[in-house]
Amino acid sequence: MKILVAVKRVIDYNVQIRVKEDGSGVVTDNVKMSTNPPDDNAIEEAVKIKEAGKASEIIAVTVGEEKAQETVRKALAVGADRGIHIKVDSVLEPLAVSKILKKIVEKENPDLVFMGKQAIDDDCNQTGQMLAAHLNWPQATFASKIEVKENSLEVTREVDEGLETIEVNTPAIVTCDLRLNEPRYASLPNIMKAKKKPIEQINASDLGVDTNPRIEHIKIEEPPKRKAGIKVASVEELVQKLKNEAKVI
């Protein structure tokens, strides 16, 4: 079994996001970047499946600028066998990314495609579903548990009502939830070994994919700051304010 794992380079989740003064986007210069957290879970699950003897190869793929290659190197350091970097000079929308990944899937012919349930930068939660539609493959989204069977997967999904268990035939697309596993840290020896693992670079323009944006960003601005709270002297005063001022009771 071959597993393809899509990973994305995003602003680190510990960084305080700042909007550019002209409202054209968020500040990324000299800002710490890292792998999208749910993508770490996707890589970890692929490595666990390989360690269990149910997968023969793991390929990490990313779509992004030159520095996005760091994300692939991290995936190689925790257990991926080789990497693919689709080089682009601009930020792509999920539709364009899914079309690019479709080309890579057709080239590599994997049995499974893993990715995070959504990216923490745009929160779109669209790429996996769009890729499944392009390939006409089964999909299992928001996976919190995966059991590999002979020609299928049993996947426990996190849904609004609780947990849902489904079975999908392979090949399939799986988007991974944060509660799927606990991603491991890359050890220093594995980081050094990852430097010798191959990363294939492909220009997105060579894939014949239309990457033109479908969405026009007019302006990006920070949410309004919350007003300061107040202290009340008694429960009676709190009830009065909720009833007469906030009008919520």
pLDDT tens digits, 209-241: 888 888 888 888 888 888 888 888 999 999 998
Pinpoint the alpha helices (H) of the chain.
37-51, 69-77, 94-108, 127-135, 188-194, 235-240
Q: Can you give the pLDDT at residue 248?
A: 84
- As a whole number of angstroms, the distance between CA 158 and CA 167 comes to 14
> Is 231 within a domain?
no
Neighbouring residues of 236: CB distance < 8 A, sequence distance ≥ 6: none
User: What pLDDT is attached to residue 164?
Assistant: 92
* 244 belongs to a structural domain: no
Across the range 29-46, mean pLDDT stands at: 92
pLDDT tens, residue by residue, 102-138: 999 999 999 999 999 999 988 899 999 999 999 999 9
DSSP 119-147: -TTT----HHHHHHHHHT--EEEEEEEEE
**Which tokens belong to 112?**
């499974």
Does a structural domain hold residue 230?
no
DSSP run (H or E) holding 158: strand 152-159
- 237 part of a folded domain: no
| Domain of residue 52, residue span | 2-223
- Looking at the 3D structure of the chain, how many domains does it have? 1
CA 65 centroid distance within chain: 16
First to last CA, the chain: 58
Looking up residue 43, the CATH number of its domain turns out to be 3.40.50.620
Residue 233 lies inside a defined structural domain of this protein: no
243 inside domain? no
Radius of gyration for the alpha carbons in the chain, expressed in angstroms and rounded: 21
Instruction: Name, in order, each residue with C-beta under 8 angstroms of 171's C-beta and a sequence gap of 6 or more.
Output: 110, 111, 112, 113, 135, 137
In a domain, 240, yes or no: no
Residue 243, C-beta contacts closer than 8 angstroms, at least 6 positions apart: 249
- Please give the model's pTM, rounded to 2 decimal places: 0.84
Residue 229 corresponds to which amino acid?
Answer: G
Lookup: tokens for 229: 């709270």
Q: Decide if 32 is inside a domain.
A: yes
Q: What is the pLDDT of residues 142-177, one digit of tens each?
A: 999 999 998 899 999 988 888 999 999 999 999 999
